Amino acid sequence: MHLIQQSFQVNYSYPVYFSEGIFHLKNDVLKKCFENKYDFNTKILFVVDTNFYSKNKNITNQIKEYFNYHLPEIKIIDHFIEIEGGEAAKNDSNIVNLILDKVHTCAIDRHSYICVMGGGSVIDVVGFAAAIAHRGIRLIRIPTTTLAQNDAAIGVKNSVNTYGKKNFTGTFAPPFAVINDFNFLKSLNDRDWRCGIAEAIKVALIKDLGFFYWIQKNTKLLFFRDMISMKSLIIRCADLHLKHIASGDAFEQGSARPLDFGHWAAHKLEYISNFKLKHGEAVAIGIALDSTYSYLNNYITKNDICDILDTIMKVGFNIYTLELLQKDADNNYIIINGLEEFREHLGGKLTITLLEKMGQGKEVNTIDKNLLLNSIEFLKNFQK
């Protein structure tokens, strides 16, 4: 036998900026991103979330003016691609091909850029297309929702939904840069404004109890769209997510995924509701469910679960939905199928994050289905 053992390391580094008015001529954040990382033939293709674009019609002119002033050497592809926001973007197989066709016809090479502006779903699908074109084109993410700014857009994952499963087809591909502009949050509707709060509650409950108490104290300000409070929430939430990604299993080679606390149920609920539930709304219910299961397992106290559920509801979320008890043609609870799909997505044995105590996660490998149904009934009664 002859063996050659290959081993090497690759360092990844990318900036995550938080700013306001990033296309104002006096703001040099975007200019700093490039820092001479371009040549005479560098191009940039913009892909924009339709939901965002419809409320920011002048953004195209602002972008062109900014590049003409600060980065005239970089050629902007004249036609911006518009993509419908929300989960529809990840369910439409034509979108990836649309982006790949544009990369081909406009000769976007690996030293050029794709810049995506929008919510998490649009960023996911564009990121996937950028990762597979030429085996990877530099991607600049400009998230425009609270959830994208503090979670979906800052990590290393890209995906689309296939085979009736969320995120079945995807890649791990770090972005070139992430630029958050808080001004973009002003045009969000109330549902999209609050969706990012769910991810903050999630990471606070498993990573930082002090952050959870801060959210609990500021529920009223967050509900009534206080921008100062939201800025603080987004930055702290993003920081906790990024530190976790950097601390170990960035590309999820193991069976555990702590940052998906509450997500196994959330992913299934989105599908059951035909995506009438937004991701953040489904995550809020998933957090409530796994927290309640933790309580009924005597991991956390009655006061703890009341604090958690009360906080989730006070920022505007429901903790119960009829889809939790929906059954299939064989009279089985559909939500329970989400456990196996979650295990399959990660590989290995089922690993679910619960709460060992407030501010600390606990990994378990089995779920008692009767106790899970009791948890659903608990949420139903608590919401009443």
Percent of the chain with pLDDT over 90: 79
* All domains of the chain in start order, with CATH: 16-187 (3.40.50.1970), 190-383 (1.20.1090.10)
Where does the chain show beta strands of DSSP type E? 16-19, 43-49, 75-76, 81-83, 113-118, 138-143, 157-162, 165-172, 177-181, 352-357, 360-364
- At 252, the pLDDT band (50, 70, 90 cuts) reads low
Q: What is the pTM of this model?
A: 0.92
The burial class, CB within 10 Å (0-12 / 13-18 / 19+), for 125 is: buried
Tens of pLDDT, residue by residue over 18-60, are 999 999 999 999 999 988 777 778 999 999 999 999 999 899 9
Residue 201 CB coordination number (10 Å): 27
Tens of pLDDT, residue by residue over 206-250, are 999 999 999 999 999 999 999 999 999 999 999 999 998 887 666
Does the pLDDT at position 255 exceed 50? Answer: no
Tens of pLDDT, residue by residue over 115-162, are 999 999 999 999 999 999 999 999 999 999 999 999 999 999 999 988
Q: What is the mean pLDDT of the chain?
A: 93
The burial class, CB within 10 Å (0-12 / 13-18 / 19+), for 274 is: exposed
Looking from the CA of 213 toward its CB, the CA atoms found within 13 Å total 5
Q: What is the mean pLDDT of residues 238-263?
A: 77
**DSSP per residue over 145-203, as a string?**
SHHIIIIITTSSEEEEEETTEEEEEEEE---SEEEEEGGGGGG--HHHHHHHHHHHHHH
- At 166, the pLDDT band (50, 70, 90 cuts) reads confident
How far is residue 376's CA from residue 306's CA, in Å, rounded to a whole number?
15
Token pair for residue 157?
């994952």
Q: Which of 176-190, 197-211, 263-277, 336-350 has the lowest mean pLDDT?
A: 336-350
Residue whose entry in the numeric block shows the structure tokens 């040549």 = 39
